[in-house]
């Protein structure tokens, strides 16, 4: 465990507790750095990380000084805080965390781990005098620790589907209400495609706050753009650009990013089409439909940590025309296991179920039962005590495509321990 892990572990026992009082108090003790940082605020069930990655890359290509704050990380805490696409150094992050800790008043309620790292991000961006920070919501929106800026330049809601219902509410309308909590009076909003129940809630919030709004439709995939293994090409509002991130969902994610850039242009920012194309082409977002290798075998890894994300993965895998897939999967206990399985597994597939290390992992025996009930014609389904054992079995068992998925934490563990 490195020193950053050791430091932050002190705040783990405060758990996840939504609310703004602690973060406001902590930021006030630090001199309110968030008030010095122009931001683009991005919420959504899925797609918000990709949209943040596109925006950060485009604005960097346009010559601006750009901060980016995202969560969770895959391998290292430094992934969460970036400046012009470069992760913060461990030494600098340690300095910031010490400064944040010194500002915690022992007479006041202790901040959570997420609030501490979020405060460090605000402090870093203020110290670096960024032109803009692209800030991803951690959980929900209304009561998330990132929701402390009263006048974002743009607020973005990428998508809304059923997840984190234990904290955000049992219906799509409840979840939409929490995510719409990032919208601010008169501030421009960019909204992706939402289910009708969620769209109704967001539309009312937009109307109540008199937000200028852009409802985004997906970009168009250009015909013939997949030939010769080149990147697929897309067109959004007359801008043609390559798509380095995989999956059909990137047509809407990239369009949301460009629509957001267009709003900045109206606000006087100098962002030319060439910067948009270059920025998108250079975008990287690891752990999402990412090809890699393990023991000389081609391997596809993806978080697929909720139903909507699993559906994206399932659609992508089926475009590859493999007769059957070997799925190596681990899931958290809080996820909708049945729906994720329904989105992925098919007759003839092989399923290797593993625990997610160091997290509240779903019971692999129970997952085995669920999977067999959902797909009675699996060629193979077994639980394993750890990821390495399952991967070694999957490699030996067949020549199928191997897909590792089910949890971003599982992917992070794989990347940290596999040498990839």
The CATH number of residue 185's host domain is 3.40.1190.10
What span, in angstroms and rounded, lies between the C-alpha atoms of 132 and 323?
A: 47
pLDDT at 167: 57
pLDDT digits (tens, 9 = 90+) for 4-13: 888 888 787 6
What is the per-residue pLDDT across 120-149, written as a single tens digit (0 to 9) for each? 999 999 999 999 999 999 998 999 999 999
pLDDT classification of 418: cutoffs 50, 70, 90: confident
- CB distance 186 to 146 below 8 Å: no
Do 215 and 357 belong to one domain? no
Residues 128 and 263 in one domain: yes
Q: What is the per-residue pLDDT for 109? A: 86
Taking residues 100-122, report their average pLDDT.
94
Backbone angles phi and psi of 161, in degrees to 5? -140, 180
pLDDT tens string 31-84: 999 999 999 999 999 999 999 999 999 999 999 999 999 999 999 999 999 999
Query: Burial, 185: exposed, middle or buried (Cβ in 10 Å; 0-12, 13-18, 19+)?
Result: exposed
Q: What is the pTM of this model?
A: 0.93
Question: pLDDT grade, residue 165 (50/70/90)?
Answer: low
d(CA 195, CA 159): 9
Residue 252 and residue 306 in one domain? no
Pair 299, 329 in one domain: yes
What is the rounded distance in angstroms from the CA atom of residue 77 to the CA atom of residue 352?
29
pLDDT at 228 (0 to 100): 44
Q: At 370, is the secondary structure helix, strand, or coil?
A: helix
Q: 40: which strand partners?
A: 134, 154
> How far apart are alpha carbons 228 and 230 in whole angstroms?
5
Give the residue from 282, 302, 323 where a domain finishes: 282
Kindly state the average pLDDT of the residues 87-116: 94
Mean pLDDT within 91-103: 96
Structure confidence by residue, pLDDT tens digits, 274-296: 999 999 999 999 999 999 999 98
- Of the chain, the percentage scoring pLDDT greater than 70 comes to 95
Q: Please identify which residue in the block is written with the tokens 């602690």.
A: 22
pLDDT at 17 over 60: yes
What are the tokens at 78?
């430094």
Mean pLDDT of 234-247: 96
> Are both 137 and 264 inside the same structural domain?
yes
> Do 192 and 316 share a domain, yes or no?
no
Contacts of 42 (CB under 8 A, 6+ apart): 48, 51, 52, 55, 134, 135, 136, 137, 155, 156, 158
As a whole number of angstroms, the distance between CA 201 and CA 178 comes to 10
**Which of 235, 257, 282 lies at the terminal end of a domain, its last residue?**
282
Closest CA to 146 of 3, 58, 24: 24
At 8 the pLDDT is 85
Q: Does 227 score more than 70 pLDDT?
A: no
Least-confidence region, from 6-10, 110-114, 157-161, 385-389: 6-10
Residue 90 belongs to what H/E stretch? helix 90-102
Number of folded domains that form the chain:
2
Q: How far is CA 295 from CA 299, 356, 388, 417, in A?
A: 10, 21, 11, 13
Same domain, 335 and 267: no
**pLDDT grade, residue 151 (50/70/90)?**
very high
All residues at 6 or more sequence positions from 268 whose CB lies less than 8 Å from its CB, including other chains: none
Question: What residues make up the domain containing 318?
Answer: 290-418
Answer whether 319's CB lies under 8 Å from 151's CB: no
In this predicted structure, the answer to whether residue 178 has a pLDDT above a threshold of 90 is yes
Nearest to 404 by CA among 353, 349, 339, 348: 353
User: Looking at the structure, do residues 298 and 268 belong to the same domain, yes or no?
Assistant: no
Per-residue pLDDT, averaged over 214-224, amounts to 92
Kindly report the number of other CB atoms within 10 A of residue 258's CB atom. 25
pLDDT for res 214 = 98
Q: What is the pLDDT of residue 166?
A: 57
Asked if pLDDT for residue 2 goes beyond 80, the answer is no
Query: What share of the chain in percent tops pLDDT 90?
Result: 86
Q: Is the pLDDT reported for residue 229 higher than 60? A: no
E strands within 84-121? Answer: 86-87
> What pLDDT was estimated at residue 161?
86
Q: Are residues 178 and 236 in the same domain?
A: yes
Same domain? For 235 and 324 the reply is: no
Last residue of a domain, one of 234, 261, 282: 282
Q: What is the CATH number of the domain that holds 345?
A: 3.90.190.20
Q: Is the same domain home to 371 and 408?
A: yes
Can you tell me whether residue 381 is helix, strand or coil? strand
- Interatomic CA distance for residues 117 and 96, integer angstroms: 9
Token pair for residue 374? 């959902």
Q: Specify whether 193 is located in the same domain as 229.
A: yes
Question: Average pLDDT for residues 150-157, to the nearest whole number?
Answer: 97
């Amino acid at each position: 465990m490195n020193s950053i892990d050791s430091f932050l572990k002190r705040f783990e026992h405060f758990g996840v507790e939504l609310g703004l009082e602690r973060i406001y108090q902590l930021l006030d003790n630090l001199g309110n750095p968030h008030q010095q940082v122009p931001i683009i605020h991005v919420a959504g069930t899925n797609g918000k990380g990709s949209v943040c990655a596109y925006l950060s890359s485009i604005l960097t290509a346009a010559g601006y000084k750009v901060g980016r704050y995202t969560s969770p990380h895959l391998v290292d805490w430094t992934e969460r805080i970036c400046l012009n696409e470069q992760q913060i150094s461990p030494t600098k992050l340690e300095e910031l965390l010490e400064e944040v800790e010194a500002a915690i008043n022992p007479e006041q309620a202790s901040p959570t781990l997420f609030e501490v790292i979020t405060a460090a991000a605000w402090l870093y961006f203020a110290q670096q005098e960024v032109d803009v920070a692209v800030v991803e919501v951690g959980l929900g929106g209304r009561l998330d620790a990132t929701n402390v800026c009263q006048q974002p330049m743009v607020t973005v809601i990428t998508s809304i589907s059923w997840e984190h219902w234990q904290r955000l509410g049992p219906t799509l309308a409840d979840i939409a209400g929490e995510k719409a909590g990032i919208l601010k009076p008169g501030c421009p909003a960019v909204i992706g495609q939402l289910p009708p129940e969620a769209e109704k809630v967001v539309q009312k919030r937009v109307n109540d706050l008199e937000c200028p709004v852009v409802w985004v439709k997906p970009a168009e995939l250009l015909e013939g753009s997949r030939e010769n293994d080149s990147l697929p090409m897309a067109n959004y509002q007359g801008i043609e650009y390559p798509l380095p991130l995989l999956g059909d969902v990137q047509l809407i994610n990239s369009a949301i990013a460009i629509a957001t850039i267009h709003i900045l242009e109206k606000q006087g920012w100098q962002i030319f089409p060439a910067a948009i194309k270059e920025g998108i082409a250079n975008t990287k977002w690891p752990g999402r439909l990412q090809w890699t290798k393990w023991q000389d075998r081609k391997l596809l890894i993806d978080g697929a940590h909720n139903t909507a994300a699993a559906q994206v993965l399932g659609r992508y895998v089926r475009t590859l025309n493999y007769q059957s897939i070997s799925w190596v999967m681990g899931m958290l206990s809080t996820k909708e296991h049945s729906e994720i399985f329904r989105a992925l597994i098919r007759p003839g597939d092989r399923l290797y179920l593993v625990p997610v290390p160091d997290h509240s992992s779903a019971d692999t025996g129970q997952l085995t039962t669920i999977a067999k009930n959902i797909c009675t014609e699996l060629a193979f389904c077994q639980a394993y005590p750890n990821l390495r054992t399952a991967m070694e079995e999957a490699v030996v068992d067949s020549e199928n495509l191997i897909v590792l998925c089910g949890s971003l934490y599982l992917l992070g563990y794989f990347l940290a321990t596999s040498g990839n």
